[in-house]
Amino acid sequence: MTETSETIVEFHRVNFQIGAVKILDDLNLQINEGEILILLGESGCGKTTTLKLINRLIEPSSGEVLVEGKSTTDWNLINLRRRIGYVLQEAGLFPHFTIAENVALVPNLENWEAEKRQTRTTEMLELVGLNPQKFAARFPHELSGGQRQRVGVARALAANPDLLLLDEPFGALDALTRTNLQKEFAKLVRELNKTAVFVTHDLHEAFVLGTRIALMDKGRIVLNDTPENFVKSELPLARAYLETVRRYELF
């Protein structure tokens, strides 16, 4: 992360509402190359909505979301999505595809040659710590939750996107598996120099992974700063989050 890093995603006065209910309220946000931005907040605060606006799973009611300087509504929808990796809770793997087929999904859609595809799949499985010989031919239901989530990450990385979106990917895992995956993921993203937007409600996870934390409340970003400055914040909601972490640290 240097001073000269480029803005990859930009929210400009974005509103999103369903009927009369405001989900996002005049949201402004910049995400720069190489950052791991954490969207932190309670359920219903709009963090997942913010994430889904980036790959246009939903469209803003007003304002615009720019990806690489171009409004998402100007992008070819399919192209936009295929160059953004997406990881969701419980992985969302295709139950009728093998692990290899799941990982090779986007390369497949993009009509990569068979050989290149296979090499890439093997590479990706190794990258997320799964033995390709052992796992490639298996089906998702034969894997543990943690292993499935690793496959989810491999699938998101397979077509080598610059930007990754993650929607509470480790939320449903047990504490030990979660901690391991968080550490490995942080290392992986930094090594590969990816930009990532990561949705969580867990401040501990935010600290382990994030280079910047955006705290959201009722459709607005109320704090947008580095983890170091987050700790010093006097904001009541930030203090409340910090309380939860301190309580853990007593034990």
Minimum Å gap between C-beta 139 and other proteins is 4
Query: Could you give the 3-state DSSP secondary structure of residue 215?
Result: strand
Q: Are strands 195-200 and 36-40 parallel, antiparallel or unpaired?
A: parallel
Number of residues engaging other proteins in binding (CB under 8 A): 28
| 163 neighbors 8 (Cβ within 8 angstroms) | yes
Task: Tell me which stretch binds other proteins (CB under 8 A): 14-22, 78-86, 121-129, 212-220.
Answer: 78-86
The half-sphere exposure of 221 on its side-chain side, counting CA atoms within 13 A, is 23
DSSP 214: E
Contacts of 51 (CB under 8 A, 6+ apart): 39, 165, 167, 197, 199
Q: Is 93 in the site for other proteins (CB under 8 A)?
A: yes
Contact code string over 22-61 relative to other proteins, x by CB under 8 A: ---------------------------------x-x----
- Residue of 66, 104, 106, 151 that binds other proteins (CB under 8 A): 106
Among 37, 80, 130, 209, binds other proteins (CB under 8 A): 80
**Residue 82 touches other proteins, criterion: CB under 8 A:** yes
Cα–Cα distance for residue pair 224/89, rounded to 1 Å: 24
What is the number of other CB atoms lying within 10 angstroms of the CB of residue 213?
26
The yes or no reply on residue 79 touching other proteins (CB under 8 A) is yes
Residues 122-181 that bind other proteins (CB under 8 A): 137, 139, 141-142, 155, 165
Task: Catalog residues that contact other proteins under the rule CB under 8 A.
Answer: 55, 57, 77-82, 84, 86, 88-96, 105-106, 109, 137, 139, 141-142, 155, 165
